[in-house]
Structures are given as structure tokens and as C-alpha cells.
Structure 1
Amino acid sequence: MKQKIFYILLTTTMLLVSNTGCKKLLDEKPKATATLGTLDPTTLDQTVIGMYEPLTRSRGRLWESTTGLGLELMSEYADGGSIQLSWSNYNNVMSQPNSLAQPWTTLYEAIGRANSLIDNLNRNTTLSDAIKNKAYGEAYFVRGYCYYFAVRVWGKVPLRLQPIVNANDVGMALSPVNVIYDSVIKDMKFAEANLPNTTTSPGRATAGAAKTALADIYLTMGQFQLARDKAKEVIDNKATYGYELESSLATVYSPTLATNKEDVFSLKFSQIVDKGAFMASYWADSKAKAAGFSVSGNKFGGIISQAPLIKNWDDNDLRKKFSLYDKYLINGVVTAAEIEKDIYDMRLGKYKDPDAPIDTGNGNDFYLYRFSDVLLIFAEADNKVAGGPTVAAYGAINQVRRRAYGLPTNTTSAVADLPAGLSEASFDELVFRERGYEFIGESKRWFDMVRTNRVAQTINGVNAVIKFPNRKPVPTRVLFNLPDVELQNNPLAN
């Protein structure tokens, strides 16, 4: 089923290129504008699918590779080893903005496709409002999420809300952060009102995905009441959206299943050459295939076991064994995993696909949101709003913890449940810890460190215990500079 999805994407991408005449986002050539007025609903749907393509492009270096790997290596518990040190020692964010040059271009290509679709839908007179509104919803979702990602990585960026049709349109001043967030929220509100509750095409945005994104956006902005209420909408209507925690982590991270009931929104990858993700190969070592992790291994960093988050992780938590390893079985023989001694001593094994045809063909999807996101957003925000953990906040986080111990999620557990009577600050700290465990390898830790003002705290906790503290210095900035590709093409961005 995953293979079918990606053949559709490939065909649609070719259609889009032929319709638009676009080869590069910032080519200084006049571009033709695709016209949807004569298209039927089927062709429109294919065009919408093509709008998602830049986000899942195997060589686009966006979430699945450079950015996905890089942001994870910026977590306090990760080290990029001898190859990717500039990520984990924060040199990239401090002084090497071109490390994100290709992700920038890919991101704005997705934004450009969304803008082109919106513009053409505005001018279309043949499609029904119902069909158009669904397409609008997906376009606004994609554009909104792309800008939400951009504002957290770069801060001020050009807020392009119209298609670029010629070279005169390239220049645009940077928009203030609050203006970008206003646009993101507006896009997501339209999306939640117009998208369907469910989809039969995995990887397509839904109303539940838009509501979850809004809850996350509000949480990042510190608007805890709004975050709490939006997350509660999703929880209260989880049956409508088809959401629930999966009991098996192997199901959640399967390289072959098209989706699962925990999947709120994910970027879809497939076991096809150049249609997959790199993540399984990036983290694995040279014995990856024999050890059952990936077709090949790049050793692009590892996990520091002495980092407080990792050191204090309960060995009985199934997520720890599923996500981290320092040894594996090869032909029945216990074999030590390859590490960089005194640098990192564990590998990240959350993504596993030994049956991939090539390292660009790992089938593991990359989650932007799971149902566990919704529960943990609610727990954090509700605690903030109430001035302490409520029964509902405990219930939300304990569902995630019970699943982590292999227990029924709706049954109280002395083993998994957090202790009663916690203060607001203590509960908040435990939610931050829980997010670290639940989303390890999913490139959320750095954003959590920044939004909760814990960058210095968490990094100092690590460099106090590692052999070479200079490998994890506290950065003096948390936003990247714009890459040269934008500065050279956009004279108003300087």
C-alpha cells in the first residue's frame, strides 16, 4: 500500500512540473501559473497530493534527513560523533546557516505549491464549493505547518502568501514573528473547519491533524488555555477522528504499514529507491543489516548514556529498549554495537528497516503528530491553566506512561502512574521528561528545550558529566541565520 502511495506522488509531481514550468523555487525566470479551471475533481486531487511531495522528497533534505537528523542531534542527550559534530555542538546554529540551505529551498517549494493551489482555486469557477474547500484546507494546512516550522527554526522569514510568477516578485522583507504566527493560526483555523475528519489516503491532512497542530502552536506560544481546549477537542472526539494509542511500538514505527490509529499526521515514506527516509540508516552502524536495523549504516551520531534524561530512564520502560541499544544479536551471538568511545556509547534504533532496498528506501514514516502528542499537550497545558495537575492532566500523561510499560492505558497502575500530589512545577518537569522519552528520535526535543527555556539547564546537565564538555557547549543563540540561497536571491531579506 505504501508503494502505491509513492507511485501516485511520483506521477503527480511530473504533472505539477508540466503545469507550472517550475524547476527551482527562486529561478529568476517568469513562471507560468497552473490553471485549475478546466480540471476535474480527480485531477485536482492528484495536484493536491503533489503539493505534499517536497515534504517527503528523499533528496529534499527536510524532515527525514538533514533537518530531522540535525535537530535531533541538537538534543542535549545526542552527539554527532566525528562526522556530524557541527550539529550536536551547536556550531551550525551559531555560525553555519548554509547547513539548512537545501531544507530552506525544499520548504519554500512546498509553500509555493500551496500558494499556487490557493491562487488557482480562488480563480476556479467549475469545481463545487465542497471539493474546493477540501483542497483549500489541505493547502492551508501544508502552508501553515511549513511556516510554523520555519518560524521556530529561523524566526523572521519572508511570509510569502502569493505565488512567485516572475523575478520582480522575489524581493520580500522579513515578517515579524508575531505576524507569522498570526498567519499560521489563520491557515490552521481554516483547515480545521474545512478538512474531513478522516481520510482513506494516509499522509493527507484531516480536521484532527489541524486541531492538533493548533494545540501545539498555542503551546509553543504560551497560550495554555487555548492549547488545553484545542487538545481536549481532539481527545473528546478521538472516536470521530479514529485516534487511540497503539499498544505496540512496533506497529507505530512499522516500515511497511501505511498508517495506524495513533497516526495524526505523518510524512509518508516507502521501501522504494529514493522514495524512502534516511533515518534508520543515519543512526545505525556498519553491521546494520546483520543486526536488523537497516540496509546500511552511516554512524551519524549516537546517544550519551550519562545524559541525565537517559541515565534516569527506567529500564522497565519499553520505549527505552525499543529506542536505544549498545549491543545486538548477529547469528545468535551477542555483539557490541559500534560506538565512539568517550563521545557516545549508545545507538538510536527507533527506526528499523533491514528490508529496505537502499538507504534512500527505508519505509519508516516520520511523525509530525501522534495521539500521544495530543495527550501530552493537554497534560502540560491543563497543569499550567489550573495551577497544578488536575485529575484530567494525570489521566492524559498516565495513558502514555501505561502504554510505555505494556499496560492497559485506561487502568490505574502503581508501576506506571505518576505520584499524586505533585506541584505545578514538579508535574511540568515530569511532562518535559515524558516528552523526551516519548519523542526521542522524532526531532522535538530541541523545540521543547527552546520553548520551555530549558536550553542552558539541560545542556549544562550533560556537559557536567561528559569527558569533553566542549562538545556540548550552551549556545548563545537558538535561531538559525537565513541561508545564502535566500540572501542572494531576496535583496530585501538582508
Structure 2
Amino acid sequence: MKRILFLLVVVAIFFTSCSDWLEEHPKAVAAETFYNTEEEADAAVLAPLAKFRSGFAMSYPGLLECFADYAYGRGSWEANSDYEGLNTQNQTRANMVWASLYKAIRDCNIAISRLPEASGLSETSKAAYLGELRFIRALSYFYLVRSFGSCPLRTEENMADYNLGKSSVDDIYAYIVNDLLYATENGPDKARLVGTPCKNSARSLLAQVYLQLEKYQEAATFAKQVIDSNAYSLVPVSSSRDFEKIFGAGVVNTTEEIFYLKQDNTTKNGWEFVMFCAHPSALINGKPMCGAGGWYGLYTTTENQMIAEWDVKDLRKDYNLLLHDFGLGDNTYLMAKFYDPDALSGSGSGNSNPLIRFPDVLFIYAEAITKATGTPTIDAMEMLNRIHRRAYGYDPNSPSEVDFKLADYGSVDKFMDLLIKEQAYECMNEMKRWFFLCRLGIAKDRIKKIKGIDVAEKHMLFPIPTTEFDYNEALDPSKDQNPGY
């Protein structure tokens, strides 16, 4: 199945390679008309996913993990952990994120505009494909609006208009919600291929978006629908290395996968972020952390408060961290969640990028229902305990001696303090922590508490790329650039 996915990606790239509009002068958008069979519609969905594997897949995880309270950047990435905004080198990386996301949006817009006219597909089938595309478009805008704030809202209706001003954050979120509501109703019940979205992918993302908008009851409702679907479960573990069954390079999919970017270490479609985290001499079980080498651009230390307080009996600690002296002293850890000893030079690694997995939905529901009701509930605590039990090697669905007791976390503040800690340990190195802290409005306080650094206000948003101002005449850099850049 994984092979099929990448063969189709090649087809998708072939059909879309001629439309690199973000890197060219404004021109008319061609109206591709090849969406008449299931194979062609498959290619339409896989095309925008291929765009995620460019600047997004490497630059975004690196940037966001450097911002996390538990990690530090090294080398050219070190400046990100100063929290003074992006320097020139890292602005270039942010530009790649912007470009890959808008290229994905363009691919979605073309297919969304043409699929309704497809003669070889049933109306139900067309609606399902449109649901997948609208999920991917919503996901792209969700990353854009959180990183860049207000930005151009390019749709299938205005995609021929290159000169387009910024839309408000509120309007962008309304558009995201509308796309996701469509996807929850019309997307496929199950993923057609490994790595393509389904209705539960849309419900999960919609729950996250509603949480971002502080619509807690709506967030709880959609998260609970995913949980109650019984389509997902936590993968049990009994040792730290058992987490390889979840994150390993050879894993095709698992019972907790909701939406991942799939990778392949035998082609150029592999994930470079694994190499970014690794050191060339670092070994796990006697094998290289990454067979292709390593840049060790990300690390943490034994002195970081979150790391120092992490219980050594928690199997996630030993799995996520590899003590390794790479020149900064014997107190440094490599971020070892993603490990691929068989990665080939120039190909990237085979580990999948877990954008949405089942623990994310459990966290969303636990927070949303607590804030919706104004008090922690037994149900909310059970969601955290499922994750916590698994972390210690217990059956996630059965009470254990490591369970948190609701009586000890009776207020919203106490419960949230617990959830904030558990989210860090569970989702470490998955590029989720910075957005999580920003959404809660505690990013500046956390960085000051853990790292002793003041976060500059300009650091809260990425700069809009200068190339956008060069080619989009509706934007004025003196007025439309984000503050501080």
C-alpha cells in the first residue's frame, strides 16, 4: 500500500510540475481537465500532499521544535531559540514553508474547480474526493494563519487573480471551518490509501480548530465523535523501544494514525527532519540513529527543567532522548523519537510525520470538555490516563497504579497544568508544542520559566516572504509585513 501511494505521488508531481506559480511572474492559471477517472482523482489528491514534502516537511519541524520549551536549536538554527524573531537564514526557511503550503492550496483549488465536471465519477465519489481536497486546503491554511497571521485567501474562485490582499484571521478561520465541515460530511469513511484523509481526519482537525477558536463544546463534540468511532486505539508498549511500533521507519500505519505525511527512505521522498535531529556518530541499539548521517540541529540538556523533572520510569523519556556528547558537554540529549538506521544518503528517512494521531484527539477532548463544563471530569481524566498508562507500559484502557486521581486535580488550572506537562512528553518532537503554548497564551511565560529568556513580540509570527511582495501588487510591505520585520 505504501508503494502504491508513492507511485501515485510521482503521477501527481508530473501533472502539476508546470504550475510553479509562486516562483514565477503572474500569469493565467491553466484549467487542467484530466479528473475523469478514480486514478486521475487519486493523483489530484496526492499532488498537494507532495507539496508538503518540500519546504514544509524539513523547515517547519526544525523551526517549530527550536521554539519548544524543552528544546534548543544548534548551528544556524540556534538563533531560533533566542526568541528574537527569525534572522535572514531562518526567514528563508520560513519562506519555503509559505511556498509549499500555497502550492498545496493551488493544487487543491485546481482540482476542486474541475472535479465537479468529471464525467467518469459518480456524484458520491466526486464529493468524497472534494472532501479530501478541502481537508488538505483547510490544513494548509491552518498552518499558515497560525504562523503568518492574516494572509491572502486564495480559493478556486480567485486563483487566477495573483494580486490579492490579505484576508483577516477571522475570515481565514471561517473558511477553514467551512471546508472541514464539508469534509466531515462528504469525505471517505476510511482512508482510500495510506496517507490520505478521511472523515475522522476532518473531525479531528475541526476539533483542533474549534479549540483554537475557544469554541470548547464544539471541539469536545467532534473529538468525542472520533473517540467513539472506535476506529483508533493506542498501540500498547512494554519497553521504551516498543515505541518504534508507532514511529519507526518501517511502520506503514498503526491504530493511532489519523493523518500522517507518509515518507519512503528508498526514494527522494524521504523525510530529512530525521537526519536534522541525528548525529553521525550516534547509535541506537548499535545502529546509526540515521543511516544518512546527521546535522544535530536540535537538542536538549539534562538541566532543562522539563527534562530534569521527567520520571525515568516513563518509557517515553528513554525513547525520545539519547544522551550524546557532540561538543557542548556530556549533558546533551539528541531528540531521538525518529530513528532510521537504513536511511540512504540523499533520500531522507522513512519515518512518517505524525500530523494528527489519536493521542492528540484525547488531549483535545480532555481540555475542551473541561473548559466547556468549567471543571475537570472523570471522562477528561480518563483521556489523560489512557496516554499516561501506555507511557509506563500498562494497558491504556485498564486502571493502573500510575493513574492520576481526579481529586488531586480538581480545578481547571490544576488539570491544565497536568495536561500541559503530559502533552510535552507525549508529543515531543512532533512540531506541536509551540502552537500548543501559543494557543493557550502561555508561550512567553513558559519560555521565561523554563529557559529564562524573554520572547520578543515579533517572534510570535513569521515574516511574510519578500517574494510575495515582489509579485503580489496588492500587498504593500510598509503596511502588510508582520510587526518587527
Q: Same fold (TM over 0.5)?
A: yes
Are residue 8 (structure 1) and residue 8 (structure 2) matched? yes
Are residue 262 (structure 1) and residue 256 (structure 2) matched? yes
Q: How does 1:12-161 map to 2 (within 5 A)?
A: 12-17=12-17, 21-27=18-24, 28-36=26-34, 39-56=36-53, 60-62=54-56, 64-93=57-86, 97-161=91-155
- Report Cα offsets for 1:244-285 as digits up to 9, x if no partner: 111132111021121111000000001123210012211111
Instruction: Report the secondary structure of 2:220's partner residue.
Output: helix
One-letter code aligned to 1:338: F
Which residue is equivalent to 1:333?
none
Which residue is equivalent to 2:234?
245
Higher mean displacement: 132-141 or 74-83? 74-83
Q: Which residue, 195, 205, 215 being the options, matches 1:213?
A: 205
Question: Distance in 1 between the 2:14 and 2:93 partners?
Answer: 28
RMSD: 2.0
Quote the offset at 1:164 in angstroms.
6.7
Question: Distance in 1 between the 2:250 and 2:85 partners?
Answer: 34
Which residue is equivalent to 1:468?
none
Instruction: Report the secondary structure of 1:420's partner residue.
Output: helix
- Report Cα offsets for 1:220-246 as digits up to 9, x if no partner: 1111111111111111112xxx21111
Quote the offset at 1:172 in angstroms.
0.6
Which residue is equivalent to 1:459?
447
Are residue 353 (structure 1) and residue 347 (structure 2) matched? no
Q: How does 1:356-371 map to 2 (within 5 A)?
A: 356-358=343-345, 360-371=347-358
Question: Distance in 2 between the 1:123 and 1:486 partners?
Answer: 32
Question: Distance in 2 between the 1:164 and 1:387 partners?
Answer: 43
Q: Which residue, 269, 288, 298 being the options, matches 1:292?
A: 288
With over 3 angstroms needed to count, the CA separation of the structure-2 counterparts of 1:259 and 1:157, relative to structure 1, is same
Quote the offset at 1:163 in angstroms.
6.6
Instruction: Report the secondary structure of 1:191's partner residue.
Output: helix
Is the CA contact (8 Å cut-off) linking 1:204 and 1:265 kept in structure 2? yes
Q: How does 1:266-285 map to 2 (within 5 A)?
A: 266-285=260-279
Which residue is equivalent to 2:479?
none
- Report Cα offsets for 1:109-167 as digits up to 9, x if no partner: 0000000001112344553101110110011001011001100000101000127765x
Is the CA contact (8 Å cut-off) linking 2:280 and 2:290 kept in structure 1? no
Instruction: Report the secondary structure of 2:185's partner residue.
Output: helix
With over 3 angstroms needed to count, the CA separation of the structure-2 counterparts of 1:359 and 1:317, relative to structure 1, is farther
- Report Cα offsets for 1:382-403 as digits up to 9, x if no partner: 1112222111001111000000
Quote the offset at 1:476 in angstroms.
1.7
Is the CA contact (8 Å cut-off) linking 1:158 and 1:493 kept in structure 2? no
Question: Distance in 1 between the 2:233 and 2:353 partners?
Answer: 18
Question: Distance in 1 between the 2:162 and 2:360 partners?
Answer: 37
Q: Which residue, 357, 364, 376 being the options, matches 1:389?
A: 376
Which residue is equivalent to 2:456?
475
- Report Cα offsets for 1:343-374 as digits up to 9, x if no partner: x7111000000111125320000011101111
- Report Cα offsets for 1:14-40 as digits up to 9, x if no partner: 1333xxx31343522333210146x22
Are residue 431 (structure 1) and residue 419 (structure 2) matched? yes
Are residue 401 (structure 1) and residue 388 (structure 2) matched? yes
Question: Distance in 1 between the 2:176 and 2:397 partners?
Answer: 35
Question: Distance in 2 between the 1:229 and 1:164 partners?
Answer: 33
Which residue is equivalent to 2:431?
443
Question: Distance in 2 between the 1:443 and 1:405 partners?
Answer: 23
Question: Distance in 2 between the 1:301 and 1:267 partners?
Answer: 21
Is the CA contact (8 Å cut-off) linking 2:58 and 2:271 kept in structure 1? yes
Question: Distance in 1 between the 2:186 and 2:397 partners?
Answer: 32
One-letter code aligned to 1:52: L
Quote the offset at 1:5 in angstroms.
2.3
One-letter code aligned to 1:67: Y
Which residue is equivalent to 1:332?
none
With over 3 angstroms needed to count, the CA separation of the structure-2 counterparts of 1:388 and 1:455, relative to structure 1, is same
One-letter code aligned to 1:440: M
Question: Distance in 2 between the 1:78 and 1:104 partners?
Answer: 24
Which residue is equivalent to 2:483?
none
Quote the offset at 1:458 in angstroms.
1.0
Q: How does 1:173-192 map to 2 (within 5 A)?
A: 173-192=165-184
Q: How does 1:334-345 map to 2 (within 5 A)?
A: 337-341=325-329, 345=332
Is the CA contact (8 Å cut-off) linking 1:273 and 1:358 kept in structure 2? no
Quote the offset at 1:417 in angstroms.
2.8
One-letter code aligned to 1:244: S
Question: Distance in 1 between the 2:346 and 2:298 partners?
Answer: 16
- Report Cα offsets for 1:8-66 as digits up to 9, x if no partner: 2112211333xxx31343522333210146x222222223222321112xxx120x211
Question: Distance in 2 between the 1:5 and 1:317 partners?
Answer: 35
Which residue is equivalent to 1:490?
472
One-letter code aligned to 2:30: A
Gaps of 5+ in 2: 238-242, 477-485
Higher mean displacement: 4-13 or 283-292? 283-292
Gaps of 5+ in 1: 328-336, 465-471
Question: Distance in 2 between the 1:280 and 1:49 partners?
Answer: 23
One-letter code aligned to 1:305: T
Quote the offset at 1:338 in angstroms.
1.8
Are residue 203 (structure 1) and residue 195 (structure 2) matched? yes
Is the CA contact (8 Å cut-off) linking 1:246 and 1:252 kept in structure 2? yes
With over 3 angstroms needed to count, the CA separation of the structure-2 counterparts of 1:426 and 1:71, relative to structure 1, is same
Is the CA contact (8 Å cut-off) linking 1:294 and 1:354 kept in structure 2? yes
Which residue is equivalent to 1:334?
none
- Report Cα offsets for 1:454-485 as digits up to 9, x if no partner: 11221111234xxxxxxx44222311121112
Is the CA contact (8 Å cut-off) linking 1:326 and 1:346 kept in structure 2? yes
Is the CA contact (8 Å cut-off) linking 1:32 and 1:165 kept in structure 2? no
Is the CA contact (8 Å cut-off) linking 1:74 and 1:90 kept in structure 2? yes
Instruction: Report the secondary structure of 2:260's partner residue.
Output: strand
Equivalent residue pairs, number = 464
Question: Distance in 2 between the 1:91 and 1:10 partners?
Answer: 40
Q: Report sequence identity in percent.
A: 28
